[in-house]
Amino acid sequence: MSSLLNFFKQPNDIAIFLNQPFLQYENIFEDFTIHKSVIEKITEMDILSIPDPTPTQLLAIIPVPEIIYYHIVTAISTFPLLNEILLTIVPQQMNEMVFWYKYFSFLFKSENQNSLLEDLAQERNGIYLTLTSETTKEIYLSYIKNCFIGQRGMLLMKYIQIINQTTNGMLDKTFYKFSERLEGLPKNQSEIKFRYKFLITIFGEIFKRCKCLYIPYVGNLVLEAVQLFDINDAFYCVMEFVIKAQCCGHFYSSQYGLENLVEYIYCILKTTYPALDNKYRQSINQFITVSLKSLTLKLIEPLEVIKRKAIVEIIVKDGKIAVIKLFLVLFKSLHKIDFNNLINSMRQIVSSYLSDDSPNSLLNEILNYELNPFLLTTHIFNTLQFPPNKEMQRRIINKEQLQGISDIVNEDEFLEIYTMLPSRLQMLVPEQIFTSSIDGLSLKTLYSKCMYHSLLLIICRRGSYIFGVFVAESFEMKKDFYGNSETFLFTIKPKARKYSHIQNSNHFIINSTPEALSFGGGTGHPSLSFDCYLNVISQTSPTFNNPPLVPRSLASRCDRVEVYSFC
């Protein structure tokens, strides 16, 4: 007993927090002779009947420890009914973290182990950690609470202060006057190398001695991030990716997870392209393994920065779903591939996009690649065992969930907008982050409210006209146009219409400056434009091939503007 008390009193690193409390329960999680009879009879209603857990209760299983990961892999692979229930419920009715908590809660309650999850959460939460690891534990908890994004601007500075405090100023000594070299984007290769070394040192302090984690891609992601973002956003981008990999299967975070993902991707390739010769299986798996160790970022190195940045952003946002789509796009021309030298062959295929005038051509192929709907949701463990003999129903948010959210559109009109959104968003409840009735008709305020948010929905009313735009990424302050083909314009009144980006038209999708926010162009006139007072004007442009969304006679200040975020 005294040794256990000493364990909790001694400052431990994050590796102890991740796995230590579960070791004493290893036999309970791994012995499926105990669980078999319960899992075989479990139903969707059994899961739905369990109360939703609190964020603190979710610490019992999130971030996912090795023991629980192995249990999930075995359960999903062995019991097809459980996998079918998972695919039916997640993400339509709950996220996967909540699903697995309810599953384990039902399982242990049926086996008279009612307090096991509560005990695990208390033990995990009660471990005495070093200051750095305690901060990381708080990050996990904030992610579970869906408030991690609010720490974006201060996260790096928090770690710098703590690491300096606990290491007698190591960062100050090693990176003399580092603060003077971390403003804005890097100006040259020397600054890129400096920032890379700086962030790698910090991540080394955060995850040192954490042998249960296998995240070899962090170095490549840091190197890419410091070239594309300022230092705070670069750190946040990498930290969020690692946290999501551990908490919800966004990517692999263990050696076993890597091996499973490699096998999963090969099976998808073989299913999609039956002509793929099995004699190349070993070389393909080796290629996938090497690529995944760099987050596939080594593959896209030949691309120019502007083309690479958009792909990096979608990989960071969508994780293994984006990576799977990238592999599917690269393997589609089997006759061009040298299977005896896959890495060079694939880099040549990527290099072929250098001659394409479209800055986002490879990105658009990735975004527009149509996957089986079951593959569009990231799970802690993915499988190709889909529910038998029935198609996946198209699920969409219900009217009750949209009740009273907007002062511009009613629930039926909001549902109409939802039918236009990408399918992966159609079950998510939007968060209103700006409304002119409270925040005023100010573009500057709109930008500040949208900071750190992506996947934005802007709804406007001018007179009897209701119109808007779905923005498939976060706003960037720059003179050049940017954006991808998921961005679209729409009208609700007088008629509901969607105006998507016209392929091969032009690339004048989004232009955001302090003075104006515009969508579309190419003929000197934007499809939709707001000035600094949210005065609106809409004209026809080849980007979206839209008629004016609001008549020229009503081109004036909007009556009301609302902005919603899904991310």
Residue 255's alpha-carbon distances to 115, 234, 251, 450, in angstroms, are: 31, 25, 12, 37
Residue 171's alpha-carbon distances to 166, 178, 198, 346, 444, in angstroms, are: 11, 8, 8, 40, 36
Q: What is the pLDDT of residues 120-179, one digit of tens each?
A: 999 888 888 888 888 888 888 888 877 665 566 688 888 888 888 888 888 877 776 666
CA distance 92 to 423: 11
What dihedral do alpha carbons 158, 212, 129, 236 form, nearest 10°? Answer: 10
**Residue 380 φ then ψ, to 5°:** -55, -40
For residue 430, whether the previous peptide bond is cis, meaning omega lies within 30 degrees of 0, is no
Mode of pairing for the β-strands spanning 456-462 and 465-471: antiparallel
* Among the listed residues 217, 172, 226, 174, the one whose alpha carbon sits nearest the alpha carbon of residue 195: 226
pLDDT at 180: 62
pLDDT at 117: 92
Mode of pairing for the β-strands spanning 456-462 and 431-435: unpaired
pLDDT at 130: 84
pLDDT at 6: 42
**Residue 432 φ then ψ, to 5°:** -75, 120
pLDDT at 354: 72
pLDDT at 118: 92
Q: Are the C-beta atoms of 522 and 507 separated by less than 8 Å?
A: no
pLDDT at 355: 66
Residue 293: both structure tokens together:
């160790």
Token look-up 């592999």 returns 327
pLDDT at 269: 93
Residue type, 105: S
pLDDT at 3: 40
Please give the DSSP secondary-structure letter assigned to residue 12. Answer: B
Tell me how long the chain is.
567
Residue 259's alpha-carbon distances to 29, 265, 323, 446, in angstroms, are: 21, 10, 15, 44
pLDDT at 388: 58
Residue 15 buriedness (CB in 10 A; 0-12 / 13-18 / 19+): middle
Q: What is the pLDDT of residues 227-271, one digit of tens each?
A: 988 888 899 999 999 999 998 899 999 999 999 999 999 999 999
CA distance 178 to 251: 32
Residues in CB range of 414: below 8 A, 6 or more apart: 402, 405, 406
Residue 199: both structure tokens together:
């962030």
CA distance 495 to 467: 10
Q: Are the C-beta atoms of 258 and 227 separated by less than 8 Å?
A: no
Low-confidence ranges of the chain (pLDDT < 50): 1-9, 359, 389-392
Other Cβ atoms closer than 10 A to 246: 26
